[in-house]
Amino acid sequence: MDKIITMKTLFIFRNAEWLGIEYLSSVLKKAGHQTKLLFNPGAGDIEFKIPFFEKIGNIDAVIIEEAIRYNPDLIAFSSLTNIYSWQKKIAVELKKHLAAPIIFGGIHATAVPDQMLSQDFVDMVCIGEGEEALVELAHAMANHENIYSIQNIWFKNNGSIIKNSVRPLIHDLDVLPFPDKEIFYKYGCFYDRLYIMTGRGCPFSCSYCYNATYKNLYGSKNPYVRRRSVRNVIDEILYFRSRYPIKEIFFYDDIFTIQKQWLEEFASSYPKEVGLPYKCLIHVDTIDEEIMRLLSKSGCYYVDMGLESGNEKIRKQLLYRNTTNEQIKRVAHLLRKYRIPFTTLNMVGLPSEAQEEMWDTVDLNIAIKPNNALFTTFYPFPNTPLTDRAELLGYIDDEVRLKLNNGEKSYKESTILNHPEKDTILWISSFAPILVKWTFLTAILKRLKPNRFFRFIAIFFSSPLRNIFFRTKELVLMYVKTRTYYYMKRNIRE
C-alpha cells in the first residue's frame, strides 16, 4: 500500500457556517490530509451590513498573517457571488506572499469559470460537486503526479486553459463522512442550532436559481436529486448532539418536503430518537395534507415557503413556477390547521415586473397572513436563465455585468439592475414585511421613505423572533470567538 503524503489545504470564508467547506474538509481528513479554516465573521453581510464592525480588529490582516504562518500546499475558496468581492481581495493579497496554488469552487465559480480563471490570483477552478475532485487533486499534488486531467477541475497551464469534464454526481450520499463542523464551531459560527442537509438537488428549475446552472452542467445522465437515508441523517444528528449543546435543527435542503416515503420513515424515527424541534424549507407544489401531517408529527416548528411573486403570470412566464394563487392559499390554510408557523419568501424588482405586479405580491401575503414575510430584491446571479433574460431586455449593461461578476451588492440592498421602478422596489423591500403584519399602518407607511433604520426594523417582521434570537447569538459569538481565537494565537506565539 502506498504511503499517504499529507497535504495541507487552507480554506478561507466569511459570514456564516458553510456546509460545503465542512464536507470538503471532512473528505480530505478522511483521506489522510490536513485542513485549516481562516474565518472573518463579516459585518452583517446577509442580514444588515454594518461597515463599522469591519474595521474592528482588522481581521483580514490577521487572516493573511495566519495563512503565511500555516504555509499551506493549497488554498481553497468556496465562492458565493455576494462575498466574492471580499474573497478576491484576500486571494490577491495571499498571492503576494505564498506560492501555494489557489483554487476557487462553489456556486459562483461554477457559474462563471472562464471569467474567474481570467484573474491572475486564480490557478484552478472546481466546477460542480468538489469532494472527489479535491481529494484526487490533493493526492496528485502530494505525489507529484499529473493533475491536469482531473475531472471537475479547470486549470491554467502555460498560457492555455484546460477544461475537464465533470464526473458523475455522488449518487449514494451516505458514503460521505459527516461534515467537519469543528472548523466553524471554534469561530462561534453555530452553538445550539445544528445546520444539516438531508439531500442534494432540487426537482424544480426556477429561472433565478443556481440549480438551473447545475442541471445544465450535469445534464440528464445522472439523477440530480439525491437523498441520504433517514438512518444516516439521524446518526449525524446524534453524533453532533453528543458534542455540542444542540437545541434545534435547521434542515437546510432546498426543499425538505419531497419523497413522501422518506418523510414517513423520518416521522416515525426522528421524534423517538432525536425529538428536537426543527425548521425546514418547503415548496407549495410538494404539499398535501398527508405531508403536512408528517411535518407536524415529526416535530416541525417552523417553515419557510417560497412565494417569490404574487402574480401568477410573473411566476409562470418569468420564474418558471407553475404554482397558482389558490394552491398557495390552500397550503397556508393547512399550515394554520396543523399549527405550523411560516415565513413567506418574496422577491421584487424582477426584469419587466411592473409596479402593480410588485403590489400583487404584497396583496397575496396580506391575504394568506403569514407569521412573517421576507421581501428581498431580485439579484441576477450569473448564468441563470432569468439573468440572461434581464440582459436581453436591457436591464444589464456592461457596467452591471462587471458588478455581477465581481459579486457586488446583494439581494438585501437596492436593485443592481437598470430597472425603471427602482424607487418602488426599494420601498416594498423595506416596508412590505411591516405592512403585511400591520396593514392598519398602510397610509402612514406609504408616506415614509426607505432608509437604513426602517430596513433594520423590517428584520423583526421578516423572520420569527426565535430565528432572530439564534442568528443574533451566532453573530455575537462569531465576533467574540473569532477575535478571541486570533488574539490567543498571537499571545501564545509572543
Average pLDDT over residues 9-18: 96
82-96, 229-243, 401-415: least confidently modelled range: 401-415
- CA 274 to mean position of chain CA atoms: 26
Taking CA atoms, 189 is separated from 5, 13, 107, 213, 471, in Å, by 31, 11, 21, 29, 9
Query: Would you say residue 342 has pLDDT above 80?
Result: yes
C-alpha cell at 99: 506560492
Residue 314 is given by DSSP the state I
- Determine the pLDDT at residue 1: 40
Q: What is the pLDDT at residue 56?
A: 62
**CA atoms lying within 13 Å on the CB side of residue 422:** 9
List of residues 6+ apart from 61 with CB closer than 8 A = none
CA distance 430 to 435: 10
What is the C-alpha to C-alpha distance for residues 331 and 353, in angstroms, rounded to an integer?
25
| Residue 489 pLDDT > 70 | no
- CA separation, residue 230 to residues 19, 264, 273, 293 (Å): 19, 10, 11, 18
The percent of residues in the chain predicted with pLDDT above 70, rounded, is: 95
Q: Is 33 exposed, middle or buried (0-12, 13-18, 19+ CB in 10 A)?
A: buried
Q: What structural domains and CATH numbers belong to the chain?
A: 8-170 (3.40.50.280), 191-463 (3.80.30.20)
What does DSSP assign to residue 316? I
Q: What is the mean pLDDT of the chain?
A: 93
Sheet containing strand 124-126, strands side by side: 34-40, 8-14, 74-78, 102-105, 124-126, 153-157, 160-163
What integer is the mean pLDDT of 317-337?
97
At which residue does the C-alpha cell 496528485 appear? Answer: 140
The CA distance from 63 to 69, in Å, is 10
Residue with cell 490530509: 33
- CB burial of 13-32 (b: ≥16 within 10 Å; e: otherwise) equals bbbbbbebbbbbbbbbeebe
**Least confident interval from 211-215, 284-288, 302-306:** 211-215
pTM, rounded to two decimals: 0.94
- In sequence order, which residues have a C-beta less than 8 Å from that of residue 459 and are 6 or more positions away? 47, 48, 468
Q: By the 8 A CB rule, do 347 and 377 touch?
A: yes
In the chain, the amino acid numbered 153 is I
Alpha-carbon torsion angle 194, 199, 202, 203, nearest 10: -140
Q: Report the alpha-carbon distance of residue 248 to residue 274 in Å, rounded.
A: 10
What is the rounded average pLDDT of the residues 35-63? 75
Bridge partner residues of 5 (DSSP): none
CB 153 within 8 A of CB 137: yes
Per-residue pLDDT, averaged over 206-224, amounts to 89
